[in-house]
Chains A and B, each alone.
Chain A
Amino acid sequence: MNRIYQITFVIFIAILALWQLPWGYRFVFKKQTQTTLPFMLFSPVSHEFSYYEKDDQNNLIGKDLAGRTYTSNELDSVLPLFYYRQLADRHALPDTIAGEAMPISKIKKGRFIFRSSPDDINGPITPLYMLLESEPKRLDFSFPTDFFRCTNQGLEFIDMKTNKIKKVKSEHFTQTLKAMGCQFPIIKLHSNPSVRKAYDNGYLMVDSRHQLFQLKMTHGEADCQALILPKGVEANQVFITEYASHKSLGFVTDMSHKMYLIDAATGTTHSIDIPGFDPTIQDIMIIGNPLIWTVRIQDSMSTTYYGLDAHDYHLYKKKVYPNKQNSFIGLHFTSWKDGYVRTRWN
């Protein structure tokens, strides 16, 4: 019997050692598993990735991947759509950039930042959703007085005050989606439930056949449209966008991790010229302006930068930085890829 107790003690020690020793080793010896990369943007002027770096005297100097160096003022001119306020302050903002007229209003309208992390996708969620009134009577948006949940039969709206199901509203929204060809259950959906925004695009939803729909509430009524995917493409993950340009409804990835932009005017999708983006394991940041998108995709293996044309999303250039691999395998309970506590070896 004593042997059994000794074995349990050894198991305990083994679990804690496998958990704490790799962590302690990394903590003490500061072994970084990921290279620190500069904040790089693709220039519409030089068509090269450009960035700031500190020199030996701690001064900021501009650089690009072609090996050129710039002063701060020069780098502002190399990245005029990112540092446009700095240029405008010095009255150095050009009228045209890359042959295109570029007033400040156009720059402001065309700028956006899109981010997604695996934690957003894989993390635990409470499956209740708020649908805002897209055309409120007053200027500002306000939070609704009900949530909805997705069931196998449709949408179910619940009154917040009474915790009772709103049968009429639930039926109305379910039937409207069904009329557009939606087949329940909804498997993925995304919205921006903030009231501090200029306009509302409602929800992007993926149904059980991986088809794509947009749902809004306009004057209390369901406002739904089926979005057109290229033939054979099955939607997987969706991301709503509500940018000042009003050009896009959002982004969608398909089952083979190809990424598309959804055009707000036509409801069609445009392929983005990057090899793939898997939101469940990769982190993405897109810094967009009217001429260029700089896309950064990170995962455990590498960090890749893409410079894309903002009109047709074709690729100008890409740069891959492999990450240093962690050779010290250990037991972990948490991960940056999801918010769950679970046993994992990596």
Chain B
Amino acid sequence: MINIQYMIRPLFYKEWMKTRWFLLLTFIVLVGVSSYAMMVFQHAVSRKGMEHLLIMMLMRKATLVHLVKYLPIGVGLGMAIVQFVPEMHKKCLKLTLHLPFVISKSIGVMLAWGTLMLTLCFASSFLIIFGTLYGPLPSELLAQSISTLYPWYAAGFFAYFMTSATVLEPTWGWRIGYVLITALGLRIFLLSDQPFAYTHFTWEMIGLIILASTLSWQSVHRFKVGHQD
């Protein structure tokens, strides 16, 4: 068996080759939509004045970031498809099973790549929003906007792990089960758009993401022992 540390770079390179165009597109869309949302904010300030905008934010609980809402989910879903559909379609996963290192570790490296890339994409979107709002908004109103944003990013990670497990899953029965879990699980992340609504739910969200991340290994295990429709 080859030590996994020697395999990280080649595996990351493989993932890079598969996902680079998707990542470029995702980066452009996320940065573009986040920038557009902030341009709408700046346009409103120049037209109506900062006072008017802040009063509306306070009284109507407006957050200025609603345009971003479903993007992280789309990005997570797309990332998993781009990463794992070729593995299954071109039977690459079968080849990977015959490589001289532990399959669970190589799946871990692949998921780590996806997680890292999603983090970078979401961070770029977040930094554009935070950087624009940090100066003009009082900390309370800045927190109001940011507090609605992070459950959506969390939903993006959840969508990524669940879609990965679904794509890697060799049997239709389990696939349908995973799709149901994905739909209901995503509903939990989108239960409320109200600012600060998820303040007491951060650990639960992290727990759900961690649980979702383990399901891919289960799918690969079933693939390895020969379950297939």
Binding site for B on A (CB under 8 A): 1-2, 4-6, 8-9, 11-13, 16, 19-20, 123-128, 130, 143, 145, 147, 149, 158, 160-161, 163, 193, 333-334, 339-343
Contact = CB atoms under 8 A, between A and B. Distances in A.
Given A2-B221, A5-B221, A12-B211, A340 B135 contact: no
A158 B181 contact: no
Contacts of B61: 126
Contact of A5 (B54, B136, B214): B214
Contacts of B194: 123-124, 339
Given A9-B215, A339-B197, 10 more contacts: A5-B218, A5-B221, A12-B181, A12-B211, A147-B138, A160-B50, A160-B51, A160-B54, A340-B196, A340-B199
A341 B138 contact: no
Contact of B51 (A11, A161, A334): A161
B2 interface: no
Interface residues of B, number: 41
Main SS of the interface on chain A?
loop
Chain A CB count within 10 A is highest, among B143, B185, B211, for B211
Given A8-B215, A160-B54, A333 B191 contact: yes
B201 A341 contact: yes
B141 interface: yes
A81 B58 CA distance: 37
Contacts, number: 102
Contact of A340 (B59, B141, B197, B214): B197
A148 B199 CA distance: 23
Contact of A124 (B55, B59, B181, B197): B197
A191 to B, nearest CB: 12
B51 A145 contact: yes
B138 A128 contact: yes
Contacts of B229: none
Contact of A126 (B58, B180, B184): B58
Interface in B140-176: 140-141, 143-144
Contacts of A130: 55, 58
Contacts of A125: 196
Given A126-B141, A127-B140, A343-B204, A334 B191 contact: yes
Contact of A193 (B49, B59, B104): B59
A123 B137 CA distance: 22
A147 B58 contact: yes
B181 to A, nearest CB: 6
A339 B104 CA distance: 41
B140 A20 contact: no
A341 B140 contact: no
Given A12-B181, A143-B55, A128 B141 contact: yes
12 contacts: A1-B217, A8-B211, A16-B180, A124-B195, A147-B58, A163-B136, A333-B188, A333-B191, A333-B201, A334-B192, A339-B194, A340-B196
A11 B211 CA distance: 8
A206 to B, nearest CB: 20
B198 interface: yes
Closest 5 CB pairs of A and B: A124-B196, A5-B218, A342-B200, A160-B51, A8-B214
B197 A341 contact: yes
Nearest to B216: A5
Chain A CB count within 10 A is highest, among B54, B59, B181, B212, for B54
Given A340-B201, A341-B197, A163 B215 contact: no
B111 to A, nearest CB: 14
Contacts of B55: 130, 143, 160
B214 A4 contact: yes
A13 B197 contact: no
Interface string B33-50: 000000000000000011
B212 to A, nearest CB: 8
Contact of B218 (A2, A149, A342): A2
A20 B184 contact: yes
B195 A143 contact: no
Nearest to B143: A126
Contact of A16 (B51, B141, B181): B181
Interface in B6-61: 49-51, 54-55, 58-59, 61
Contact of B200 (A1, A6, A126, A340): A340
Contacts of A145: 51
B216 to A, nearest CB: 9
Contacts of B215: 5, 8-9, 12
A13 B214 CA distance: 14
A12 B207 CA distance: 10
Contacts of A4: 214
Interface in B108-138: 135-138
Nearest to A146: B51
